[in-house]
Structure 1
Amino acid sequence: MSALDVLFTSVRVGRLTFGNRLVMAPMGTCLDQGGYITDDTVAYYRRRAEGGVGAITVEGCLVSADTVGPEPRLCAPECVPGLRRIVEAVRPHGTVVGVQLMHPGRQVVAGPSVAPSPVPLNSAAPTPHELTEPEIDRIVADYARAARFAAEAGFDYLEVHGAHGYLPSNFLSPRHNLRTDGYGGTLENRARFSLEVARAIVAAVDLPLVWRLNGTDAEPGGFDLDSAVAVAKLLQDSGVASISVSSGTWLTLHETLAPMAVRRGHMRPLVQAVRQAVSVPVMAVGRLDDPALAAEIVASGDADLVLLGRGLIAEPDWPDLVRAGRLGEVRPCIACNACVDLVGRGERARCSVNPEVGRELTWSVEAAAAPRSVMVVGSGPSGLEAARIARLRGHRVSVWEADDALGGKLSVAGAAPSKREVLRFRDFQARRLAELGVEIRTSSPVSAGTVAEECPDVVVVATGAVPLVPPVPGIDGPDVHDAQRLLRGEIAVAPGTRLVVVGGSATGCETAELMRARGAEVTIVEMRGSIGRGIEAITRRQLVKQLRHDGVGILTKAVVVGIEPGSVRWRPADDDTAAEETVPADLVALAIGWRATGPQVAAELAADGVDVRILGDAETPADFVRAINAGADTGLAV
């Protein structure tokens, strides 16, 4: 018997039996259209049900008609048919299905911003309208009405989003709820709105109710663990069948949607405390996609169920693969938060490691009509994915890499301490290609002669991009290097070295992080107004905060005008007449930008009439998501 078997035992939630302990967490997708469910939405949830998860909680649906956001709506009869289609698509796979009811409160995208008190979300946000008691009563009724619509759609259970700073959570916060009436002041008063919503739903429908509750807001003066334990007991007494414990708000999203630098299971102490206080089943969340950790949390009694969010986006078959002991086939979620970032901008969900996401309706890896010989030149993210998909389709595939190991930019990106998760995906891809029988050629640069000798039917150019080197005096000096060379360890950096990183891109920030960890005195010089552009917002916020905490100097709106032995000269970017200043520098790392290599390489290889495809950074330098999807598209097309 495996230690992982505990994940696949049944558990009761109210009157329901969940077939296993794994629940798909509710996460926004932006696959709806104008708030209504689409074929793409249905296919997305069907695909997760096919993977063996015990229960699926459909993403938050808006309960009030005057609330506008990227979420689906559940506030009118016309919302019911689309949601019923999700239920009908999921249930044949033996999966229990629920839906999350939500009111964003002051965190609304459009429409009225409302809150218990007129406290804005941040300095740039509007001051929300302070809800009157009649308005509170109306919203409570909205939740009950939405619950009835959900029951009509056929859902097995309901969940209220009472965490993350949304309206119920906002009421619970002593920092943001400043009311002096019966909905403010004491914890019991601040919990009154949540309890009224819970009781109204329990009275309206005969479905188990799950309540998503913050174990802490992770804000100074905010809702804390002691309060969460007390509220969990009150919710249980009000008829709630299960508590789902999370943490954080929009002001502390690194808690809610932890980037890869945050350890797995960081919320475990929160769920443990709530579990000890209540008798209803409790759900845990927080980067629990490691099977051993998930199983240990259940086996220890710290939680009864485990939520998988981003892990099921990356790998829909996670439950079935783990149950079968095929752990090496589980595509790892690297917590890059690309899915979160896209949805946060109102764009459709996609994934950095799974190109199927968002296009489940049409995704099909079909056998090629006529197998071909495919040579992939370069082994960055796009090249590896092109090779994988092409091989799955039955082509004879070889990967040619000039360096001595696979990975390309994956290896460089994973060098910084906060980015090591990237290496897990690199290693997964390398392992899967070997298992699929892809021929791997490292330390093997490709020329027109190589192509002539190998005679492939198709050459896929995935050689990535090369660094931009601007015409700055001294930039060709002996102490000036491409930042990637430092990340790869090709340039020794001794403790105390004064390092100037020119460019505050992702590569520049990662170089600064790694070299500072090794004892260098680091300064980033960036011509724009901020550093970390192109990095997902939550990750970026935490990375910049950590760099400042670690003593990395950051000069923004600064243009480098010259590099000399021992210093870098710069001037303000917005003032050509300003006097130049200097930064001491024993070593300079360049992280300024990229130039695509594909057109030149393709022109050389296509001279003899070879069918050449260019993809990824080799065509246009872009982000990880676009690289993986470009690779997949090429693999499907060759």
Structure 2
Amino acid sequence: MSVLFTPVRLGPLTLKNRLVMAPMGTCLDNGGYITDDTVAYYRRRAEGGVGAITVEGCLVSADTVGPEPRICGPEYLPGLRRVVEALHGRVGEGADVTVGVQLMHPGRQVVDGPSVAPSPVPLNSASPVPHELTVPEIERIVADYARAARYAEEAGYDYLEVHGAHGYLPSNFLSPQHNHRTDAYGGTLENRARFSVEVARAIVAACDLPLVWRLNGTDAEPGGFDLESAVAVARMLEEAGVASISVSSGTWLTLQQTLAPMSVPRGHMRPLVRAVKQAVSVPVMAVGRLDDPELAENIVEWGEADMVLLGRGLIAEPDWPLLVRDGRRDELRPCIACNACVDLVGRGERARCSVNPEVGRERTWEVEPAARPRRVMVVGSGPSGLEAARLARLRGHEVSIWERDAELGGKLEVAGLAPSKREVLRFREHQARRLTALGVEIHTSAPVSAGTVAAERPDVVIVATGADPLVPPIPGIDGPIVHDAQRLLRGEIAVGPGTRLVVVGGSATGCETAELMRARGAEVTIVEMRGSIGRGIEAITRRQLVRQLKKDGVEVLTRATVVGIEPGVVHWQEADGTPHSIEADLVALAIGWRPTGSDVTTGLELGEGIEVRVLGDADSPADFVRAVNAGADAGLTV
């Protein structure tokens, strides 16, 4: 048996395995109250065999404004209790899932409402200066944590976790960069840790539940909280009665550490958790893209941590524990760390997932057998087409999928060629395996014509052909040095060291083209009409990608409009009309997309009696999440 599925102690509790669902915001609550959708979301993860679930951060102070659930008054107890009852009722392998709840105070990291901090240091130049907490106010917040702990115990939770990381209030106190106090709560490390220690002691005194403390191993900020300090604070927290330390890293200013995009290697926090594990005697939890089973096993086997946290991995694949335990690892739906779930919640929208359309609608999700099996022909194999084919086949339809290119995936294939986007190919490969296992007829290098449809005699044609590149009427755009960016990504156009490349358009495709071509040695310039590049890319991924492009020497021209292209030169002008020119051996167009659905349906000349559905980019260019969900909706209802 894998070490991941051996029991582990958490204070007086025994967890059935060493896999813990990490607390992650969902925005499925309603005004701070737990909803049926929230309960269904956690129930689905419990069904997947995880040993413990830490319910997302709940606000402990009544004057805090945020999208999170609340645990600051008795009126919130019924909803909080329903989660526990639902999860304790999911009996698997003879043991209920262990259920905890995270207690949090965001401090200065709020979108609205009071912003408070140990010192009046704003989060960034666009944020308000937070109110500097007085000692009586600090004491009141400590009491808020203790009261919330009692509410959690009354609601039936098995354990508690304090969010003491990621720049939230306890973490903000710990930071020498942002805590400039000169009283008992600032200055030395012991003083900066005083707030955390007082909160821990207050909770331990207020209830009988074991307490987990989420602690940054480092803030990953210059002059911020570092690993040496984290080790010392972990010891202080253990002495204060904390039953386990959960080691993470990063703040809102370094979210590429906290919620690492796909360009960051798995297990990037291992040195942090290893150092804390060696310093304390209580069990330690590891996190940081640990959804690779072998990696998770190694961390426990080698004594680096006692438990492994799964966050985004369980959003993408709720059955991760059972599939790994039963030796069915090839069936795991991969989390590609695209951070779409994080991006949506960060904007106050309900959690969704790029690879799992069930997320956020677990309460109503049901794959029902079709009342009448039909012949379904899916034209195009991008995210929409793949998901439509999968679910239609699961419902009992006879399904075929047709792709004009040699590989399934549509734009996934091209996007996956960029160094920072290789993970998307894992989803393409997973879907291809699932379709093959389900018996879907797969046709590649197979453009569809009216004759193809006539020969197949489908009842339903699902058009998921994606979108074609947009080509604006720029003088010289049809010249010999100008190519669609996808041709460069595919390697159809030779680009090597010293090639002077101008990328017209700084959206996702433009940035990915610049990234790959720069890696091949080209001298790259991005020309973008708007004020910044990377629009349409999830915020954390975008920040990381743009930073890397600039570090690699890619020149970026914003508020710049290309007005003409000639052999060897690109003419552009600033917003005020000031003209400029750039020498260029090649020009890559990455300006936007034009839906192809109407072109395809017109060309097929579909006869009467054939139901036609146009999905995803073929209908209207959209993001990955909307594309997959559109495919799911079609597959569920066809």
TM-score, normalization by structure 1: 0.99
Residue 341 of structure 1 corresponds to 343
Cα deviation 1:92-115 (Å, max 9, x = unaligned): 222100000000000022221100
The residue type equivalent to 1:622 in the other structure is A
The residue type equivalent to 2:82 in the other structure is R
Q: Distance in 1 between matches of 2:434 and 2:334?
A: 12
Residue 579 of structure 1 corresponds to 578
Q: Distance in 1 between matches of 2:287 and 2:385?
A: 33
Q: Distance in 1 between matches of 2:14 and 2:135?
A: 38
Matched, 1:367 2:366: no
Q: Distance in 1 between matches of 2:202 and 2:21?
A: 26
Matches within 5 A, 1:167-246: 167-246=169-248
Residue 602 of structure 1 corresponds to 601
Shift of 1:582: 0.5
Cα deviation 1:6-28 (Å, max 9, x = unaligned): 00000000000010000000000
Q: Distance in 2 between matches of 1:321 and 1:552?
A: 43
Shift of 1:31: 0.2
Shift of 1:601: 1.0
Residue 264 of structure 2 corresponds to 262
Cα deviation 1:200-230 (Å, max 9, x = unaligned): 0000000000000000000000000000000
Residue 465 of structure 1 corresponds to 467
Residue 419 of structure 1 corresponds to 421
The residue type equivalent to 1:65 in the other structure is A
Matched, 1:54 2:56: no
The match for 2:499 among 497, 500, 505 is: 497
Check 1:303–1:202 CA distance in 2 against 1; reply closer, same or farther (3 A cut). Answer: same
Shift of 1:607: 3.5
The residue type equivalent to 2:607 in the other structure is D
Residue 509 of structure 1 corresponds to 511
Residue 14 of structure 2 corresponds to 17
Residue 452 of structure 2 corresponds to 450
Cα deviation 1:141-184 (Å, max 9, x = unaligned): 00000000001110000000000000000000000000000000
Residue 99 of structure 1 corresponds to 101
3-state SS, counterpart of residue 225 of structure 2: coil
3-state SS, counterpart of residue 54 of structure 2: strand
Residue 154 of structure 1 corresponds to 156
3-state SS, counterpart of residue 606 of structure 2: helix
Q: Distance in 2 between matches of 1:515 and 1:126?
A: 40
The residue type equivalent to 1:130 in the other structure is E
Q: Distance in 2 between matches of 1:24 and 1:142?
A: 25
Residue 7 of structure 1 corresponds to 4
3-state SS, counterpart of residue 572 of structure 2: strand
Q: Distance in 1 between matches of 2:48 and 2:543?
A: 34
Q: Distance in 1 between matches of 2:601 and 2:340?
A: 30
Residue 633 of structure 1 corresponds to 633
The match for 1:127 among 126, 129, 150 is: 129
Q: Distance in 2 between matches of 1:347 and 1:472?
A: 38
3-state SS, counterpart of residue 353 of structure 2: coil
Structure 2: state its 5+ residue gaps: 91-95
Q: Distance in 2 between matches of 1:469 and 1:600?
A: 16
The residue type equivalent to 2:583 in the other structure is P
3-state SS, counterpart of residue 253 of structure 2: coil
The residue type equivalent to 2:338 in the other structure is C
Shift of 1:495: 1.3
Q: Distance in 2 between matches of 1:579 and 1:219?
A: 39
Shift of 1:119: 0.4
| 8 A Cα contact 1:229 1:274, kept in partner | yes
Q: Distance in 2 between matches of 1:602 and 1:82?
A: 49
Q: Distance in 1 between matches of 2:405 and 2:86?
A: 46
3-state SS, counterpart of residue 608 of structure 1: coil
| 8 A Cα contact 1:460 1:615, kept in partner | yes
CA-based RMSD of the aligned residues comes to: 0.7
The residue type equivalent to 1:20 in the other structure is N
Residue 616 of structure 1 corresponds to 616
| 8 A Cα contact 1:605 1:612, kept in partner | no
Residue 74 of structure 2 corresponds to 77
Q: Distance in 1 between matches of 2:142 and 2:113?
A: 18
The residue type equivalent to 1:605 in the other structure is L
The share of aligned pairs that are identical, in percent, is 81
Q: Distance in 1 between matches of 2:172 and 2:327?
A: 43
3-state SS, counterpart of residue 163 of structure 2: strand
Shift of 1:606: 4.7
| 8 A Cα contact 1:606 1:612, kept in partner | no
Which shifted more, 492-501 or 509-518? 492-501
Q: Distance in 2 between matches of 1:459 and 1:436?
A: 19
Residue 293 of structure 2 corresponds to 291
The residue type equivalent to 1:533 in the other structure is R
Q: Distance in 1 between matches of 2:346 and 2:494?
A: 40
Q: Distance in 2 between matches of 1:376 and 1:492?
A: 34
The residue type equivalent to 2:14 in the other structure is T
Q: Distance in 2 between matches of 1:263 and 1:473?
A: 43
The residue type equivalent to 1:624 in the other structure is F
Cα deviation 1:332-359 (Å, max 9, x = unaligned): 0000000000000000000000000000
Structure 1: state its 5+ residue gaps: none
Residue 93 of structure 2 corresponds to none
| 8 A Cα contact 1:215 1:224, kept in partner | yes
Matched, 1:86 2:83: yes
Residue 589 of structure 1 corresponds to 588
Report the count of equivalent residues.
632
Q: Distance in 1 between matches of 2:263 and 2:88?
A: 36
Q: Distance in 2 between matches of 1:489 and 1:349?
A: 36
Q: Distance in 2 between matches of 1:427 and 1:182?
A: 56
Residue 403 of structure 1 corresponds to 405
3-state SS, counterpart of residue 108 of structure 2: helix
Residue 31 of structure 1 corresponds to 28
Q: Distance in 2 between matches of 1:261 and 1:169?
A: 26
The match for 1:117 among 116, 119, 123 is: 119
Q: Distance in 1 between matches of 2:498 and 2:443?
A: 39
Matched, 1:281 2:278: no
Residue 163 of structure 1 corresponds to 165
| 8 A Cα contact 1:99 1:158, kept in partner | yes
Shift of 1:478: 1.1
3-state SS, counterpart of residue 161 of structure 1: strand
Shift of 1:611: 1.3
Q: Distance in 1 between matches of 2:624 and 2:383?
A: 7
The residue type equivalent to 1:599 in the other structure is S
Q: Distance in 2 between matches of 1:248 and 1:160?
A: 16
3-state SS, counterpart of residue 20 of structure 2: strand
Q: Distance in 1 between matches of 2:334 and 2:74?
A: 40
Q: Distance in 2 between matches of 1:606 and 1:157?
A: 62
Q: Distance in 2 between matches of 1:142 and 1:96?
A: 24
